[in-house]
């Protein structure tokens, strides 16, 4: 049966176009219930159980299916995902509305419908002859959809009666819309609100905690006092932004001070790129990462960023007067040039809430169900939740979602989602850091795995098309110990004409990951492999990462090769790119490769090849440094794990060998050669990587620190910076140069991926290269997969596809990759921080030599070279008389009583784990030497109170 709509549309040219929309209605769409004779198995895929064995409901004791409306699906997805809820009918009308309103919820509901054990069935009601409804005159789209849902629910109940005479199966309509529920009951449809139904499941009381509290009655606080001003409606905000009354931007809460935030204004030509917000009322219920509209305050009300550290520790929600007192504390007298544009939030354009990890702060009121949840991320406000499991959840890491933030509530309202496990446990903490840094880490789905090659796999004749056979070459790989995802291999041999042939062979991942399929989409979403201290979260399934793509020795593997002909002075004479087949002759660690190079009695082909590569690499490095490439330093740490407990038993800084540098030089050379090639071929849509030059102000700290040691650091160009760092040596203080390079690293900008058609500045500052990309690690970086595809098209080894030559699509990919790389870095640092805490927990209190990296107004930031560990030594503590502190920003120096501290001074510190705050355990450092009465602690305090004032901060692995 065919329904058609016809309407007329005016074209740009002024003509009239008749548009006919056809809508097919069918009568062969199944109801989804297994064994339904009337449908005769017309449905495919996951189906509803014929006799649902679900938890008994006191409201509806007989077997039943659930049919939720759109709002229930959108807001109560946490309840629907619970294993207790099964046999749910998801209507096409509802699914389409969810898809339009929330992509994350839509993805979650698709995942649930694909889970066979949940028995969720998608019913195509919009194309079923008996359930399709036309929009009536004067009826809005919402009302039409509500009616369509009721019609489908009624049809189901009548249809199920036909299944068998003694069948008592019912379909229960779940809606939180009062009017819709009343109409359903009038029409004879059994209907309940989500809350009524969940509370009727007496065998599953824990489900109540997962209910999102949405009704305004729940949001009413007993006092009812209005704290915040009303958010303006979206239409008014858009008008205001258009007219320039309001500014749109991203809300960034402060980690240090819960009463302060900044808004980064969107758009390029805004003179006020950053607006400060201070005080609860001006923050007006915005949450970190929300898109907000702000109103700029008059200049007389502008403030300066506060230097006060304020953590929200209040348990009493009515203490708004206390908040106002704290806000006054922020407004210290400052000079006019310190004042920054200041504003207030007038409305929310888009909420960017996510599920938050953290811990429950149990209420002091006995038997209370209302408790505060403290998120692990200090930028997120505390959230009020209702739970009956408070005593079980104490000392656990849990996940909570925000439901709303009424005007009369000091905190947002939310609901419990799930329990992650005990705080401090390795698995729990790893899960927390992956969730908090938004690292996709669920196992790969069946849809993704279905695109992997079938095993046993071998190279076929078809694979050899457009490929060179390089299996005869003496290729080897050099990697860290224990590496299973080997991306790259190298070879070097002398040619008959006396020149050298050097090859970099990279795993041909793009051969296995074809554009647009589920495997490609998942790899693109993950963007990068994340390496934690004890765990690797792969970007691609293990069959590829550790087997078929990994260039292991003595097996044939597909590769993408970059081969140069060079003279003995490492000058490139010819470059060739080709897809290839290789057979690696050895998988070596850096240490093994170094031993071969240094050993006088080894002269086999692999060793000769390595020596040739090493010799050329030294020339390449020298030439690169002459051009102005920077050699910076960051203390990287390596943990030695106990083989039984997997706890860290030793912590050392990583040792770098010549062979590390050898591999790095050829990877850089390959990346630069490929960047030139893809940009030649695709000037508008090459995926490149740039590293912007830092603004001069970034270098202030480095220049001042060097000057305090009578050294001059020039920062006008990368070359002058590199040369002055080379000259900055002190015979009496050999570690000084490393400290300066560590400090220089902190001054740098972040390197980013970009699309060549969307940017004019391609320069890579750190490498002193006019163009650069990533080609050499496609197993662990999605950027390299795109670059492989571009290069394959450029050399005629593969065909193109529309998205590859769409610069806007590429720009979107780059945006996601930059985000994923940044988050992976933060997750890695958090993992190092956690393992460092475990190490010091078992080691107890230790004293070590340290160097001062920064001086602050009331603290020094030190680096302990032995552990590559950085931490802060504070000189002001709660409940102790404050020492006399004089801070000089110019030198920079800090005078405590009669002792002066400068950057790079050597001190001795005591390191211990402070567990006074379970959620934020941290490494705490105190001064041992030089001795300052009342400040330094004696070396023999082994029973130091670790639960003292919690004021330390730790930063690791920057």
Instruction: Let me know: does 80 contact 229? Beta carbons within 8 Å.
Output: no
For residue 886 the two structure tokens come to 């004089």
CA 881 – CA 942 distance, rounded (Å): 23
Residue 34 lies in a domain: no
Kindly report which listed range (689-703, 824-838, 854-868, 934-948) carries the lowest average pLDDT score. 934-948
Residue with tokens 């000057």: 707
Q: pLDDT digit string (tens) for 226-247?
A: 888 899 998 899 999 988 899 9
Beta bridge partners of 8: 18
Helix (H), strand (E) at residue 200: helix 194-200
Mean pLDDT of 288-299: 91
Residue 811 lies in a domain: yes
Residue with tokens 């077997």: 63
Q: Which of 764, 795, 826 is a domain's end point?
A: 826
**Phi, psi dihedral angles at 315 (to 5 degrees):** -100, -25
| Domain ranges, residue 373 | 234-311+335-420
Structure letter (DSSP) for residue 516: T
CA 250 – CA 248 distance, rounded (Å): 7
Q: Are residues 87 and 155 in the same domain?
A: yes
Confidence of residue 54 (pLDDT cuts 50, 70, 90): low
Instruction: Let me know: does 596 contact 538? Beta carbons within 8 Å.
Output: no
Q: Report CA-CA distances (Å) from 692 to 723, 755, 765.
A: 19, 15, 6
Neighbour-count burial of 410, counting CB atoms closer than 10 A to its CB (0-12 exposed, 13-18 middle, 19+ buried): buried
Residue 678 lies in a domain: yes
Q: Minimal CA–CA distance to 68: which of 52, 91, 37, 49?
A: 91
CA 579 – CA 734 distance, rounded (Å): 47
Q: Are residues 142 and 118 in the same domain?
A: yes
For residue 279 the two structure tokens come to 């005080």
Residue 8 lies in a domain: no
Q: Are residues 581 and 540 in the same domain?
A: yes
Q: Report CA-CA distances (Å) from 926 to 235, 260, 688, 859, 943.
A: 55, 29, 46, 10, 14
The helix/strand/coil state of 122 is strand
Q: Are residues 144 and 67 in the same domain?
A: yes
Residue 15 lies in a domain: no
Q: Minimal CA–CA distance to 435: which of 382, 522, 378, 356?
A: 356
Chain length of the chain: 958
Mean residue pLDDT of the chain comes to: 84
Mean pLDDT of 149-171: 82
Confidence of residue 947 (pLDDT cuts 50, 70, 90): very low
Beta bridge partners of 253: 261
* Cβ-based neighbours of 337, under 8 Å, separated by 6 or more: none
Q: Are residues 561 and 544 in the same domain?
A: yes
pLDDT of residue 268: 63
CA 256 – CA 920 distance, rounded (Å): 14
- Most confident range, picked from 113-122, 321-330, 516-525, 825-834: 516-525
Percent of the chain with pLDDT over 90: 35
Strand 383-386 and strand 648-653: pairing?
A: unpaired
Neighbour-count burial of 613, counting CB atoms closer than 10 A to its CB (0-12 exposed, 13-18 middle, 19+ buried): buried
Residue 142 neighbours by CB distance under 10 Å? 12
Q: pLDDT digit string (tens) for 462-507?
A: 889 889 999 999 999 999 888 888 999 999 999 999 999 999 999 9
Dihedral sign computed on CA atoms, order 190, 194, 195, 198: positive
pLDDT of residue 948: 36
Q: Are residues 477 and 462 in the same domain?
A: yes
Q: Are residues 726 and 796 in the same domain?
A: no
Residue 427 lies in a domain: no
Q: pLDDT digit string (tens) for 342-395?
A: 999 999 999 888 889 999 887 767 667 788 898 988 899 999 988 888 888 888
- Most confident range, picked from 167-171, 331-335, 519-523, 639-643: 519-523
Confidence of residue 567 (pLDDT cuts 50, 70, 90): very high
CA 475 – CA 605 distance, rounded (Å): 10
- Most confident range, picked from 600-609, 773-782, 844-853: 773-782
Q: Are residues 409 and 288 in the same domain?
A: yes
Mean pLDDT of 897-907: 85
Neighbour-count burial of 657, counting CB atoms closer than 10 A to its CB (0-12 exposed, 13-18 middle, 19+ buried): middle
pLDDT of residue 272: 60
Q: Report CA-CA distances (Å) from 106 to 101, 103, 111, 512.
A: 9, 5, 9, 29
Number of domains observed in the structure of the chain: 5
Residue 252 neighbours by CB distance under 10 Å? 17
Kindly report which listed range (3-17, 365-379, 776-790, 799-813) carries the lowest average pLDDT score. 3-17
CA 412 – CA 470 distance, rounded (Å): 63
Q: What is the CATH number of the domain that holds 890?
A: 2.40.50.140
Residue 30 lies in a domain: no
Mean pLDDT of 904-929: 80
Confidence of residue 221 (pLDDT cuts 50, 70, 90): very low
CA 957 – CA 20 distance, rounded (Å): 62
Alpha-helical regions (H) of 399-558:
426-436, 446-449, 509-512, 518-526, 542
**Each residue of 507-542: b (16+ CB within 10 Å) or e?**
bbbbbbbebeeebbebbbebbbbbebbeeebbbbbe
Q: Which of 165, 194, 210 is a domain's end point?
A: 210
Q: Are residues 401 and 530 in the same domain?
A: no
pLDDT of residue 773: 95
Q: Report CA-CA distances (Å) from 400 to 212, 314, 377, 428, 788.
A: 10, 19, 12, 15, 41
Indicate if the pLDDT at residue 414 is higher than 80: yes
Residue 6 lies in a domain: no
CA 886 – CA 898 distance, rounded (Å): 10
Q: Are residues 916 and 806 in the same domain?
A: no
Q: Minimal CA–CA distance to 441: which of 377, 524, 536?
A: 536
Q: What is the CATH number of the domain that holds 72?
A: 3.40.50.1010
Q: Are residues 387 and 412 in the same domain?
A: yes
Indicate if the pLDDT at residue 333 is higher than 60: no
Confidence of residue 312 (pLDDT cuts 50, 70, 90): low
Q: Are residues 402 and 457 in the same domain?
A: no
Indicate if the pLDDT at residue 583 is higher than 60: yes
CA 774 – CA 106 distance, rounded (Å): 33
Instruction: Let me know: does 423 contact 508? Beta carbons within 8 Å.
Output: no
């Amino acid at each position: 049966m065919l329904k058609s709509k016809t309407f007329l549309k005016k074209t740009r040219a002024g003509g009239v176009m008749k548009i006919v929309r056809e809508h097919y209605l069918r009568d062969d769409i199944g109801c989804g219930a297994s064994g339904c004779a009337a449908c005769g198995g017309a449905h495919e895929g996951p189906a509803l159980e014929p006799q649902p064995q679900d938890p008994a409901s006191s409201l509806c004791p007989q077997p039943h299916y659930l049919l939720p409306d759109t709002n229930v699906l959108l807001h109560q997805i946490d309840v629907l995902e619970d294993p207790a809820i099964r046999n749910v009918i998801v209507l096409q009308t509802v699914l389409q509305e969810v898809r339009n309103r929330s992509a994350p919820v839509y993805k979650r509901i698709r995942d649930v419908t694909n889970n066979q054990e949940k028995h969720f069935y998608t019913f195509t009601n919009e194309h079923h002859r008996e359930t399709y409804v036309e929009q009536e005159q004067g009826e809005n789209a919402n009302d039409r959809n509500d009616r369509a849902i009721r019609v489908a629910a009624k049809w189901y109940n009548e249809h199920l009666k036909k299944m068998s005479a003694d069948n008592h199966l019912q379909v229960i309509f779940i809606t939180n819309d009062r009017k819709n529920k009343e109409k359903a009951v009038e029409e004879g449809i059994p209907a309940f609100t989500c809350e009524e139904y969940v509370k009727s499941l007496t065998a599953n009381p824990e489900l109540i905690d997962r209910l999102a509290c949405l009704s305004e009655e729940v949001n009413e606080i007993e006092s009812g006092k209005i704290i915040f001003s009303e958010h303006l409606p979206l239409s008014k905000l858009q008008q205001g932004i258009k007219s320039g009354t309001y500014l749109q931007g991203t809300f960034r809460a402060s980690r240090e001070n819960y009463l302060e935030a900044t808004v980064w204004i969107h758009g390029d030509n805004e003179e006020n790129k950053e607006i400060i917000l201070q005080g609860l009322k001006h923050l007006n219920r915005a949450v970190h990462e929300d898109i907000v509209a702000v109103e700029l305050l008059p200049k007389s009300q502008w403030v300066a960023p506060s230097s006060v550290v304020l953590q929200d520790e209040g348990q009493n929600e009515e203490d708004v007067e206390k908040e106002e007192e704290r806000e006054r504390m922020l407004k210290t007298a400052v000079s006019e040039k310190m004042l920054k544009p200041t504003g207030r939030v007038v409305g929310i354009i888009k909420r960017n809430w996510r599920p938050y990890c953290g811990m429950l702060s149990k209420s002091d009121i006995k038997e209370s169900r209302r408790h505060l949840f403290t998120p692990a991320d200090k930028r997120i406000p505390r959230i009020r939740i209702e739970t009956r499991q408070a005593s079980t959840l104490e000392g656990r890491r849990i996940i909570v979602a925000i439901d709303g933030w009424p005007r009369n509530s000091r905190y947002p309202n939310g609901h419990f989602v799930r329990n992650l496990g005990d705080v401090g446990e390795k698995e729990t903490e790893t899960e927390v850091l992956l969730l908090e840094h938004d690292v996709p880490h669920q196992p790969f789905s069946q849809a993704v795995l279905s695109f992997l090659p079938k095993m046993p796999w071998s190279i076929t004749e078809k694979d050899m098309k457009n490929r060179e056979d390089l299996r005869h070459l003496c290729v080897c790989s050099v990697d860290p110990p224990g590496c299973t995802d080997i991306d790259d291999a190298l070879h070097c041999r002398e040619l008959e004409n006396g020149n050298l042939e050097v090859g970099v062979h990279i795993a041909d991942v793009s051969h296995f990951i074809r554009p647009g399929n589920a495997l490609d989409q998942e790899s693109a979403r993950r963007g990068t492999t994340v390496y934690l201290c004890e765990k690797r979260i792969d970007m691609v399934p293990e069959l590829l990462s550790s087997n078929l793509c990994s260039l292991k020795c003595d097996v044939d593997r597909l590769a993408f090769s970059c081969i140069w002909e060079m003279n003995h002075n490492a000058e490139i004479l010819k470059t060739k790119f080709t897809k290839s087949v290789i057979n690696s002759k050895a998988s070596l660690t850096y240490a093994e490769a170094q031993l071969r190079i240094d050993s006088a009695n080894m002269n086999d082909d692999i060793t000769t090849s390595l020596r040739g590569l090493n010799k050329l690499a030294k020339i390449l490095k020298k030439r690169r440094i002459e051009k102005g490439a920077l050699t910076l330093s960051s203390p990287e740490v390596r943990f030695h794990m106990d083989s039984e407990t997997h706890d860290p038993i030793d912590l050392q800084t990583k040792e770098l060998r010549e062979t590390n540098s050898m591999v790095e030089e050829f990877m850089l050379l390959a990346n630069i050669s490929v960047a030139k090639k893809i940009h030649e071929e695709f000037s508008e849509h090459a995926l490149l990587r740039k590293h912007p030059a830092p603004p001069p102000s970034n270098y202030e700290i480095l220049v001042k620190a060097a000057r305090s040691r009578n050294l001059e650091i020039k920062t006008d160009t990368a070359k002058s910076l590199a040369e002055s760092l080379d000259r900055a040596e002190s015979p009496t203080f050999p570690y000084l140069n490393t400290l300066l390079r560590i400090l220089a690293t902190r001054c740098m900008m972040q390197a980013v991926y970009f699309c060549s058609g969307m940017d004019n500045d391609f320069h890579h500052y750190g490498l002193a290269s006019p163009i650069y990309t990533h080609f050499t690690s496609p197993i662990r970086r999605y950027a390299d997969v795109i670059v492989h595809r571009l290069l394959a098209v450029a050399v005629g080894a593969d065909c193109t596809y529309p998205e590859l030559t769409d610069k806007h699509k590429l720009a979107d990919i780059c945006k996601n990759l930059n985000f994923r790389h940044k988050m992976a870095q933060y997750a890695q640092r958090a993992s190092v921080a956690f393992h460092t805490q475990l190490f010091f927990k078992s080691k107890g209190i230790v004293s070590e030599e340290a160097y001062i990296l920064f001086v602050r107004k009331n603290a020094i930031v030190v680096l302990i070279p032995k552990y590559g560990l950085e931490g802060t030594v504070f000189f002001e503590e709660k409940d102790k008389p404050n020492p006399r502190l004089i801070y000089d920003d110019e030198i920079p120096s800090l005078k405590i009583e009669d002792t002066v501290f400068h950057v790079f001074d050597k001190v001795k510190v005591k390191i211990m784990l402070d567990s006074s705050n379970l959620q934020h355990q941290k490494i705490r450092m105190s001064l041992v030497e030089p001795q300052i009465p009342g400040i330094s602690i004696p070396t023999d305090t082994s029973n130091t109170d670790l639960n003292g004032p919690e004021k330390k901060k730790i930063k690791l692995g920057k």
